Structure 1
């Protein structure tokens, strides 16, 4: 995956966060005031329309029609990862490393003064992101500025161990890794390299990451996943490709073979249920192949 500022996936995710944030306190699952900074063209227009209830419903309807389940699944997924980070911080985690951070601004919006955030991504993405954040803070000085350590990388071209500072692995750090919407864009070998790099951290290090059911990539789903034709046409137009997936039933063994213990593994139905409730979630269809897993590094064998 070319992790560059032009990545459409990063922009779409920012749009989804902007739409959810526009719902206002008491209704939204989270607030990301930074999300609109990374949008342009019709995406920025969609974000603007989302500020008003009647036009927000129109934007939501359009997205649901074009890409069933994309908005609700991504919004619930964002909240799940937010909560995972918050729970980890309460248990003593003091370093969060976001691999393929894109336009993720958790370092700034979650307000965790005792947690150090490290973002690893393509240098062009990081340059654009830092520029937009600087402009945001110039316009709104009320938001506290959170220092972030940036590490430039392309996961498909470079080994993490060769570029990530060794100081990140110091024993006094208790670390949580976040890989959101990353694994499906990189190769099997690159995913293995990421997990191998994490193995260099102390036991108890955790990782939360998204992955897709392999059947959606191999086209062996026989219609079990709705909206996939439109999705893959859109990916092709954006010159993006999904390259890594795994069958949910095989995932625990996959992790155990790499010295990780699976703590959680759920699909979009599960995390939509958790955050939208049974009645609303039952009516939400699409993106069932999009999954979240949480795993912990076990002591070396």
Structure 2
């Protein structure tokens, strides 16, 4: 994605979440404040994206959208609910360990940092400059009287991999959770390594990493083609083409010990149990929780 454009994939992720959570079974998984956030965010998107805010209010439109999405890429819609729900469950479960700071990489139009800022966490987002400006404007317009996260803009490339940790109010001595929801999929292997190295070197105590991963090799060929064409059609491109084993190895090479891994089967079963849905999660989707090993000095 270019530094001077908003992310269409991030916009459609917010739109899908907004549409799905108009269905009571999915809506009940989240606090009312989260539902309100996406209602406002989708209405705030530039035209024609904001038109979804009106049309997805109609149940027949939602059913048509659901049918078409499941026909083209089965499991894509439920994975949207899964990633939002699982990540916030993991953050909440680690609160008792003394974590108090959250950094969201490639936050897009997500509510996560805003929502946890309301719970007393120190929250930061890092995104490309255009997205950071857009998110900052939205938060100032819609939540000016609330505590809002610090939204940092930077454009990361292989030749310019510098994360703006030192230039911000991010405290390297606070227990920190770093969230990379759908982030590394759009980053090259070399840049991923440089980002993990910076995280490794900057924080003391060592941070917790919560990340998603798409193992595209697990998708049938025609679904993989649909997925990749869909991303390219909005001007973006998947860049980290790794199996789940290769991704785990990449994390391990940078001293991250994987504590939990949720695959599409376990995620689908739990969400079906909680919501009664017959939908399943996209093949190749994973949520991983990894703790950076404490360096011996």
* Distance in structure 2 (CA, Å) of the matches to 1:72 and 1:165: 37
8 Å Cα contact 2:216-2:224 kept in structure 1: no
Matched, 1:294 2:289: yes
* Distance in structure 2 (CA, Å) of the matches to 1:25 and 1:212: 25
Cα distance, 1:176 vs structure 2: 0.1
* Distance in structure 2 (CA, Å) of the matches to 1:3 and 1:266: 32
Give the gaps of 5 or more residues in structure 1: 139-143
Matched, 1:102 2:108: yes
* Distance in structure 2 (CA, Å) of the matches to 1:273 and 1:64: 18
What are the residue-to-residue correspondences of 1:69-108 with 2, within 5 Å?
A: 69-108=75-114
What are the residue-to-residue correspondences of 1:199-214 with 2, within 5 Å?
A: 199-200=200-201, 201-213=203-215
The match for 1:141 is: none
Cα distance, 1:180 vs structure 2: 0.9
* Distance in structure 2 (CA, Å) of the matches to 1:273 and 1:66: 22
* Distance in structure 1 (CA, Å) of the matches to 2:280 and 2:222: 8
The match for 1:190 is: 191
- With the length of structure 2 as denominator, give the TM-score of the two structures: 0.85
- Name the SS of the counterpart of 2:123 in structure 1: strand
Out of 159, 162, 167, the position equivalent to 2:161 is 159
* Distance in structure 2 (CA, Å) of the matches to 1:127 and 1:278: 37
8 Å Cα contact 1:209-1:293 kept in structure 2: yes
Cα distance, 1:3 vs structure 2: 5.3
Cα distance, 1:159 vs structure 2: 2.4
Query: Against the structure 1 CA distance between its residues 12 and 166, is the aligned structure 2 distance closer, same or farther, given a 3 Å change threshold?
Result: closer
Give the gaps of 5 or more residues in structure 2: none
What are the residue-to-residue correspondences of 1:27-176 with 2, within 5 Å?
A: 27-30=27-30, 31-35=34-38, 36-41=42-47, 43-110=49-116, 112-137=118-143, 145-156=146-157, 158-161=160-163, 164-165=166-167, 168-171=170-173, 173-176=174-177
Aligned residues: 288
Query: CA offsets per residue over residues 172-205 of structure 1, 9 Å max, x none?
Result: x110000111111111111111111111212441
- With the length of structure 1 as denominator, give the TM-score of the two structures: 0.84
- Name the SS of the counterpart of 2:211 in structure 1: strand
Cα distance, 1:38 vs structure 2: 4.5
* Distance in structure 1 (CA, Å) of the matches to 2:6 and 2:169: 31
Cα distance, 1:75 vs structure 2: 1.0
Query: Against the structure 1 CA distance between its residues 123 and 183, is the aligned structure 2 distance closer, same or farther, given a 3 Å change threshold?
Result: same
Matched, 1:17 2:17: yes
Cα distance, 1:288 vs structure 2: 1.1
Matched, 1:256 2:252: yes
Q: Mean alpha-carbon deviation: is it higher for 22-31 or for 64-73?
A: 22-31
* Distance in structure 2 (CA, Å) of the matches to 1:187 and 1:207: 18
RMSD: 2.8
